[in-house]
Amino acid sequence: MTEFDISINPNQISPLSLAYIGDAVYEVYVRSFIMHDVNMPVSKLHKEATKYVSAKAQAQIFHKIEPELTGEEISVFKRGRNAHSYTSAKNADIIDYRISTGFEALIGYIYIKKDTNRLNEIVRLCIKAVKGAE
């Protein structure tokens, strides 16, 4: 993934802004993984990606990877989960939506922190969580 010169303290960014960037970063990682892993039509790629990126999928993934997260990462997740959002998910219940927002905030936090190694570790855990459930 290309690195930009982001000189921002991730602790000073709102949790919803972290979730905003985290959503995009996570989706790029997932799309890159499934493109590398399988060769199929775009419609099937999209269906495969939803196993990782939907609010329900992210909530399930979070519960599986939670034991592997640090105290700092859990704290960031909770900030995102508890943030008051004026939007809601189209195809998810409020609990899954909030958990997925926390998950995305965590991904955004690690990205802004420029901890590429940890970001790769967490995404690998996510992929393993989904692959193990199939």
Q: Which residue numbers are catalytic?
A: 23
- The runs of H, that is alpha helices, within the chain are 15-37, 42-53, 55-65, 71-82, 94-112, 116-133
Burial (CB count <10 Å: 0-12, 13-18, 19+), residue 87: exposed
DSSP summary character for residue 114: T
118-131 b/e (C-beta count within 10 Å ≥ 16 → b): ebeebbebbbebbe
Tokens linked to 95 = 């609990």
Would you state the structure tokens that stand for residue 57, as one six-digit string? 């999928």
